[in-house]
Amino acid sequence: MKPISNFKEHIQQYYCFINKDQILNLVNRPFLLICSSCFTILLSFYVLWAPNSLKFTFRHETYDQRNSLALPDNTETCDLFKGRWIRDVKGPLYTNFSCKTIPDKKNCLLHGRMDNDFLNWRWKPDQCELPIFEPRSFLSIVQGKTLAFIGDSVSRNQMESLLCLLSTEETPKEVHKDAKDRFKTLYFPCHNFTLMALWTRFLVNATQTVVNGSVTGGFDLHLDRVDDNWAQKLPSINYAIFSDAQWFLRQNYLFEGGNLVGCIYCQKPNVTDLGPGFAIQRAFRAAFKYINNDCKDCKGIVTLLRTISPSQFENGTWKTGGSCVRTSPLAPEDINNTGNADLEYRNIQVAEIESARKLGEKNGNAFDILDVTGAMLMRPDGHPGLHWRNKKKGYSDCVHWCLPGPIDTWNEFLLEVLRRKSRFPLRS
């Protein structure tokens, strides 16, 4: 036992244990402050004399792997992503009151969304339960680690959900933010946990297509060159969650080895339209090849692929007055799997992570999937629709997801996948 050297650490943990709001209240009320000081002094003595019992009380209310022995056999292996949405009277895990960091654009209830029954559903895998998000379990798994969301604004949406889910436990400090708020680093001091958003439309290098001196809204994608913006950060990351799909679904030109090899939706007589699926496949392939073969200091990284999040415009598109006005989920039987483009792209992504996994095993890298596509195809009711801070009035957002909302389930998937993975050695 080394009571003295542990002392500072324990007190620090004690203050981390109290959440921010409580501390503010104490500061506002001198009487309580005095009481809390007395308590702290008493606690200090307690720490000095019995450090292990304190450690046990405060630190180990997190997930205990031994508990899992009592759970059904399939808990470690069941397919989390095959299931249905079932009624849940408990409602969401946070509100726009308890989470202060909901971005305006995703705060649907603030922007006049009147129905809130879409918050009363839980994802139920067919063969097991998906555990409810437990902020302490999450933070204990990622303690001392760095996790990055690598992708577009939907990837960012998942990070925003995670921040809300963790907000009852710890609010991070902002360490870095670029001018456009596309790259962001947050630090959770109580858990020595770093969270990053790394923005990339395509995972691979891309520049705006210029025709006759002006940009077109499309991009030139270099399918064999990863985007440096995330690649250079990779050695500092323990958990990398890759996504991306929406930006591929527009007119883009595709290059390999610096040569034009085709396009997406370009309708040029002398350029082959290879379709979004081809480009999605090559981009993920390039990212995973970089991790497995090219990156010098990426051994032991845990790479997750979050599959395509469907955008769900009905009666039109973003530009032609399409909307999303549903107020409850669909059942699996309601989804038409035939000719479903989202499922086609999802299958391409699954195939890429599977081949990366086979290669990665040899290199000590782990690859896994957050296969959200099927679940989200059943949630056309989860988007802001008209209820976002829309500058151009009349446009519906059927791409991003309300907070709180069904996107919170992605982080329950994330926690459960990390929990399963954390039984295996991770890079330290």
Ligand X SMILES: *[C@@H]1O[C@H](CO)[C@@H](O)[C@H](O)[C@H]1NC(C)=O
Whether residue 153 lies in the annotated active site:
yes
User: Residues 134, 227, 342, 416: which binds ligand X (CB under 6 A)?
Assistant: 227
Tracing tokens 């007395």 back to the chain, one arrives at 38
260 binds ligand X (CB under 6 A): yes
Specify which residues 220 forms β-bridges with. 207, 253
Residues in the chain: 428
Least spacing, CB of residue 339 vs ligand X, in Å: 3
Tracing tokens 């802001």 back to the chain, one arrives at 384
User: Residues 10, 80, 107, 167: which binds ligand X (CB under 6 A)?
Assistant: 107
Long-range contacts from 292-295, C-beta under 8 angstroms, 24+ separation: 292/356, 292/359, 292/360, 292/363, 292/365, 295/231, 295/234, 295/235
338 binds ligand X (CB under 6 A): yes
DSSP state of 133: P
User: Residues 206, 356, 366, 399: which binds ligand X (CB under 6 A)?
Assistant: 206
- Cis, bond preceding 310 (omega within 30 deg of 0): no
Least spacing, CB of residue 205 vs ligand X, in Å: 4
Whether residue 60 lies in the annotated active site:
no
User: Which residues make Cβ contacts (< 8 Å) with residue 370, sequence separation at least 6?
Assistant: 241, 304, 305, 306, 307, 410, 413, 414, 417
Q: Are 283 and 409 in contact (CB under 8 A)?
A: no
Whether residue 243 lies in the annotated active site:
no
Q: Are 360 and 296 in contact (CB under 8 A)?
A: no
341 binds ligand X (CB under 6 A): no
Nearer to ligand X, 29 or 389 (CB): 389
Distance CA(307)–CA(310), nearest Å, equals 9
Least spacing, CB of residue 259 vs ligand X, in Å: 9
Which two structure tokens, joined as six digits, stand for 12?
């620090």
Number of residues that bind ligand X (CB under 6 A): 26
Distance CA(302)–CA(241), nearest Å, equals 8
Least spacing, CB of residue 16 vs ligand X, in Å: 12
Nearer to ligand X, 140 or 205 (CB): 205
Least spacing, CB of residue 320 vs ligand X, in Å: 12
Q: Are 136 and 415 in contact (CB under 8 A)?
A: no
Least spacing, CB of residue 42 vs ligand X, in Å: 26
Least spacing, CB of residue 353 vs ligand X, in Å: 22
179 binds ligand X (CB under 6 A): no
Of the candidates 10, 383, 387, 400, the residue annotated as catalytic is: 400
User: Residues 28, 65, 67, 336: which binds ligand X (CB under 6 A)?
Assistant: 336
User: Residues 47, 93, 109, 304: which binds ligand X (CB under 6 A)?
Assistant: 109
334 binds ligand X (CB under 6 A): no
- Give the footprint of ligand X on residues 1-30 (CB under 6 A): none
426 binds ligand X (CB under 6 A): no
Specify which residues 176 forms β-bridges with. 185
Of the candidates 227, 371, 381, 397, the residue annotated as catalytic is: 397
User: Residues 1, 69, 70, 211: which binds ligand X (CB under 6 A)?
Assistant: 211
Tracing tokens 């009380």 back to the chain, one arrives at 57
Options 81-89, 180-188, 268-276, 409-417: segment touching ligand X (CB under 6 A):
268-276
- Give the footprint of ligand X on residues 295-314 (CB under 6 A): 314
Rounded to the nearest 10°, the torsion over CA 169, 399, 287, 354 is 90
The identity of residue 418, as a single letter, is: L
User: Residues 270, 392, 393, 394: which binds ligand X (CB under 6 A)?
Assistant: 270
CA distances from 326 to 257, 378, 390, 398 (A): 45, 11, 19, 11
Q: What x/- string results for residues 131 through 170 when contact with ligand X is judged by CB under 6 A? A: -------------x--------------------------
Nearer to ligand X, 93 or 130 (CB): 93
315 binds ligand X (CB under 6 A): yes
Nearer to ligand X, 23 or 341 (CB): 341
214 binds ligand X (CB under 6 A): no
3-class DSSP state of 206? strand
Q: What is the 3-state secondary structure (H, E, C) of 336-398?
A: CCCCCHHHHHHHHHHHHHHHHHHHHHHHCCEEEEECCHHHHHCCHHHCCECCCCCCCCCCCEC
Using CB under 6 A as the criterion, which residues of the chain lie in contact with ligand X when the complex forms?
96, 107, 109-110, 144, 192, 205-207, 211-212, 227-229, 260, 268, 270-271, 314-315, 323-325, 336, 338-339
The residues annotated as belonging to the active site are: 153, 397, 400
